[in-house]
Amino acid sequence: MDLFEYQGKELLRKFEVPVPEGRVATTPDEAAEAAKGLGGKVVVKAQVQVGGRGKAGGIKLADSPDEARAVASRILGMDIKGHTVKRVLVERAGDIKAEYYCSFLLDRSNRDFLGMMSAKGGVDIEEVADSDPDAIAMVHIDPLLGMSDFHAREMVFGADLDPEARPDAIALLPKLFRAFTQLDASLVEVNPLVLTGEGRVVALDAKVSLDDSAFYRHPSFDQLKAAHEIPEQERVAKEKGLNFIKLDGDVGIIGNGAGLVMSTLDVVKAAGGEAANFLDVGGGAGAELLSSALEVITSNPEVRSVLINIFGGITRCDLVAEGIIDALGRLDVKVPIVVRLDGTNAEQGRKMLADAPHPMLKSADTMLGAAQLAVDLAHGREGGS
Ligand code: GDP
Ligand code: MN
């Protein structure tokens, strides 16, 4: 789970990583109140989980509580790359002498941790990695031995931070690493880490990704989860035990097996369409599961057609057909549904569908044919049935 900046900073503070003092606000008045409490100049920051908030107008300085109210009212409700701003973080603003980058992450291919630091901070690190890879110091850390002071020095000197920033940065990195390991994070990224006018080194931004599989070790994380509104459709899908991910297209997808569903997404794309979701019903898909799946998919108003792509192995196509027929009886489906059945008992399944005609039900023999038909129907082009 990716945390919001304010949540990440709250956690980092517990590990004594220096972060600016700040408060979360959900209304312009709260932002003004927060600015008043902090005193002086503040920065108002949109809390959304995308980078580049500054460029998008989601980060603004304010000299007074009134100004904080005004900028907060502009930022709250703003759409940043598809994310609506529901909260802002109001922080005491300081002078910035230099912006750096640092992060710790799980390096799966090397089976260790990777620490990265650069004196070129505040910009997209991928860009730095492309244009000037030598500007990023990388240090591998053995998970069993942990981080030592020499690692911190290697990062700081390797990245060639300003001499003034070095002592603070060398003291900060082990704390950040401790946060990273103790929280069971897969990433902590501070961009920018800044050198302030007073010569202090402070984490001005924080991106923390927690490992969901380790949540059982951290009961207090429940609180963090509460701030994440899961999209309604995904919440319902999860409740019904479906492996569902929402996408942005208009062709609903149901398949069995993650690999088949992935290829179905590709084939829909190849046919000129865009999938509305990923949904894997797994093996042994019965009536209950299929009707849940159809219900969840068609609850998305963007969906113009549904493609059910089943390859029967353990899954029997006759049971899938039964499930589809049953689901269509229960649900008021208003979009065309294209079904492709292949594999175990496919003939039987197809016959069952043919014998139970439904105005919205179409069959196709091949995967590509089915995808093409679903895409055509989504685009309002009537294909054969
Ligand atoms: P991101 O672009 O979404 O990653 O947002 P950041 O939190 O990294 O902020 C982007 C930029 O805004 C930083 O690199 C800073 O230049 C600027 N910024 C953020 N907070 C402050 C602040 O407290 N004071 C000043 N002067 N600038 C800030
Ligand atoms: Mn940033």
Average pLDDT for the chain: 93
Rounded CA separation 256/260 (Å): 7
- Whose atoms come closest to the Cα of 47: which ligand? 1
User: What's the mean pLDDT in 148-163?
Assistant: 98
Residue 173 pLDDT exceeds 70 = yes
Place of tokens 């020095």: 153
pLDDT digits (tens, 9 = 90+) for 225-271: 888 777 778 888 888 888 899 898 999 999 999 999 999 999 999 99
Q: What is the pTM of this model?
A: 0.74
pLDDT digits (tens, 9 = 90+) for 327-368: 898 889 999 999 999 999 999 999 999 999 899 999 999 999
Alpha-carbon separation of residue 281 from 97, 268, 292, 323 (angstroms): 54, 18, 10, 12
- Whose atoms come closest to the Cα of 194: which ligand? 1
Range scoring the smallest mean pLDDT among 15-24, 69-78, 189-198, 329-338: 329-338
Q: What is the pLDDT of residue 385?
A: 43
Ligand 1 atom nearest 43 alpha carbon = 23
Place of tokens 């979701």: 277
Residue 3 pLDDT exceeds 90 = yes
**Of residues 137, 135, 134, 119, the one with CA closest to residue 194:** 119
User: What's the mean pLDDT in 300-309?
Assistant: 95
Rounded CA separation 93/80 (Å): 22
Residue 203 pLDDT exceeds 50 = yes
At position 44, the amino acid (one-letter code) is V
Between the CA of 21 and the centroid of ligand 1 the distance, in Å, is: 14
Q: What is the pLDDT of residue 383?
A: 53
With a Cβ cut-off of 6 Å, ligand 1 is lined by 43, 51-54, 59, 91, 93, 96, 99, 122, 191-192, 204-205
Ligand 1 atom nearest 20 alpha carbon = 23
Between the CA of 157 and the centroid of ligand 2 the distance, in Å, is: 22
At 110 the three-state DSSP class reads helix
Residue 384 pLDDT exceeds 50 = no
At position 237, the amino acid (one-letter code) is A
Task: Name the pLDDT band for 102 (thresholds 50, 70, 90).
Answer: very high
Q: What is the pLDDT of residue 289?
A: 86
- Whose atoms come closest to the Cα of 54: which ligand? 1
Between the CA of 204 and the centroid of ligand 1 the distance, in Å, is: 7
Residue 207 pLDDT exceeds 70 = yes
| Residue 188 Cα to chain centre, angstroms | 15
Task: Name the pLDDT band for 114 (thresholds 50, 70, 90).
Answer: very high
Give the contacts of 39 (CB within 8 A, at least 6 positions apart).
92
Rounded CA separation 221/105 (Å): 20
Task: Name the pLDDT band for 285 (thresholds 50, 70, 90).
Answer: low
**Side-chain half-sphere exposure of 271, counting CA atoms within 13 A:** 26
Q: What is the pLDDT of residue 45?
A: 98
Task: Name the pLDDT band for 288 (thresholds 50, 70, 90).
Answer: confident
Task: Name the pLDDT band for 284 (thresholds 50, 70, 90).
Answer: low
Per the structure block, which two tokens stand in for 48? 């959304």
User: What's the mean pLDDT in 300-329?
Assistant: 91
Protein residues near ligand 2, an ion, with CB under 5 A? 191, 205
pLDDT digits (tens, 9 = 90+) for 53-97: 998 999 999 999 999 999 999 999 999 988 899 999 999 998 999
For the chain, the maximum distance between any two Cα atoms, rounded to a whole number of angstroms, is: 80
Rounded CA separation 20/41 (Å): 12
Tell me whether the omega of the peptide bond preceding residue 192 falls within 30 degrees of 0, making it cis: yes
Alpha-carbon separation of residue 310 from 185, 276, 327 (angstroms): 37, 18, 16
